[in-house]
Amino acid sequence: MSIEITAADEVIVLAQVGGMLRELLEEYGLDDAEIAMDTTFHDDLELESVDLVALSGQLREHYGDRVNFATFIAERDLDEIIALTVGELVRYIVASLRATA
């Protein structure tokens, strides 16, 4: 039961994060990128670290204080940030939202 709820939450959050990423990518003229859980920010989407900073601004606008991206990032070193997948961020958001629900 709880697993089903988590999976459903992940689908919803993935769609939300996908929308934010498309907005960022649009500025580079790349709005048709496929965004899935195993998509990597750096290699697949060719986003730079500064784009992740911009994404954090969008996350804050969307989720408010419930999702602390700065903490998520602070726990990782630069190599881990480069290797980050969309799925890792989505699962973190789902966990944060559930913790503050």
Partner 1 sequence: MSRIRAGELDVHVQRLAPETPLDGDAPIVVCVHGLLTDSLASYYFTLGPAFAARGFDVLMYDLRGHGRTTRPESGYRLEQFVDDLVAVLDACGVTRPVHVVGNSFGSSVAFGLAAARPDRVASVVAIEGEPPTEEWTRHMADGLADAKTRLAVDEVIGWIEANHGAHTARLSKAANRILQTTTIAEDIPRSATIAADLSAVRCPVFAIFGGDSGLAAQVPHFEASLERCRTVVLPDQGHSVLVERTAETIELIFEWVRDTSRDAVRVR
Q: Which is nearer to partner 1, 26 or 100 (CB)?
A: 26
**Helices 49-63 and 2-26 meet at what angle, rounded to 10?**
120
Q: Which residues bind partner 1 (CB under 8 A)?
A: 27, 42-43, 46, 48-54, 56-58, 70-71, 73-74, 78, 81-82
Residue 27 C-alpha from the chain's centroid: 18
CB of 16 to partner 1, least distance (A): 16
Q: Which is nearer to partner 1, 5 or 70 (CB)?
A: 70
Helix, coil or strand: residue 40:
strand
Q: Which is nearer to partner 1, 37 or 54 (CB)?
A: 54
CB of 81 to partner 1, least distance (A): 7
- CA distances in angstroms from 17 to 2, 50, 64, 84, 93, listed in the order given: 22, 17, 14, 14, 10
